[in-house]
């Protein structure tokens, strides 16, 4: 994407009512006004809040919002030029139950209050295979502890990935930490019993993976 195109999208994001771009200072000094008040102030309903972390173009957030009008969805990514597409689509389709936040995932517990979130989707994250990149894996122990802070006690996390490494790493960590694995499969499209919410939404890149015969893995779990 050219720099002019990126700048255009950044400018357009500033005009979108469904895009929130808090400064790091706002988050760290506790002045971010939506924290603890997302239902009351932004969505103006009491529906469950569901996050998509590392949402990219926002395809999953938008599709989930279309299929679940009784839930609120928030896509989070630091790359605003990417989720511009999802935000624009949501506005064009008058989807009032989806928003996008431009911030780093490690600041999630500064964006949301304790037990404010019902579900988290992690869709096709970078597996960060090299050992020295472990701290950046979105299902490492540190990230899981941050998710636990904002999730309700019965909150659910979904991990959908094309990486067998990420799938195996996460499963091993969950079992080692005695978290509750509700469902796991290394090939969701090859399993007729896979949950529909996992198989009836495909992102642009996921379709490319499937066309090349790459298997898509999935884990659904709770943090105990």
Active site positions, annotated: 126
**Cβ within 8 Å of residue 185, ≥6 positions away:** 191, 194, 217, 218
50 φ/ψ angles, rounded to the nearest 5 degrees: -120, 130
Read off the DSSP letter of residue 48: P
Residue 94, helix vs strand vs coil: coil
> What is the residue whose two structure tokens read 């701290």?
135
> What is the residue whose two structure tokens read 């994001």?
13
110 φ/ψ angles, rounded to the nearest 5 degrees: -100, -15
> Measuring CA to CA, how many Å separate 52 from each of 13, 119, 140?
18, 9, 17
183 φ/ψ angles, rounded to the nearest 5 degrees: -160, 140
Q: How far apart are CA 197 and CA 158, in angstroms?
A: 10
Q: Which of 182, 189, 140 lies closest to 157 in space, CA to CA?
A: 182
Q: How far apart are CA 92 and CA 85, in angstroms?
A: 11
**Cβ within 8 Å of residue 190, ≥6 positions away:** 215
């Amino acid at each position: 994407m050219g720099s002019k195109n990126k700048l255009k999208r950044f400018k357009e994001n500033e005009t979108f009512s469904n895009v929130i771009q808090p400064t790091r200072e706002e988050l760290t000094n506790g002045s971010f006004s939506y924290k603890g008040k997302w239902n009351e102030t932004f969505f103006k309903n009491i529906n469950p809040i569901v996050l998509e972390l590392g949402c990219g173009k926002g395809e999953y957030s938008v599709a989930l919002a279309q299929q679940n009008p009784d839930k609120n969805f928030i896509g989070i990514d630091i790359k605003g030029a990417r989720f511009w597409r999802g935000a624009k689509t949501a506005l064009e389709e008058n989807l009032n139950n989806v928003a996008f936040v431009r911030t780093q995932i490690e600041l999630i517990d500064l964006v949301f209050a304790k037990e404010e979130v019902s579900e988290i989707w992690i869709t096709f994250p970078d597996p960060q295979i090299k050992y020295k990149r472990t701290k950046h894996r979105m299902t490492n122990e540190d990230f899981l502890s941050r998710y636990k802070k904002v999730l309700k006690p019965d909150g659910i996390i979904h991990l959908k990935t094309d990486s067998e490494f990420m799938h195996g790493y996460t499963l091993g960590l969950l079992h080692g930490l005695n978290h509750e694995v509700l469902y796991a499969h290394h090939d969701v499209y090859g399993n007729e019993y896979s949950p529909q919410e996992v198989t009836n939404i495909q992102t642009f890149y996921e379709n490319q993976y499937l066309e090349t015969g790459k298997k898509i893995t999935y884990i659904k779990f709770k943090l105990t």
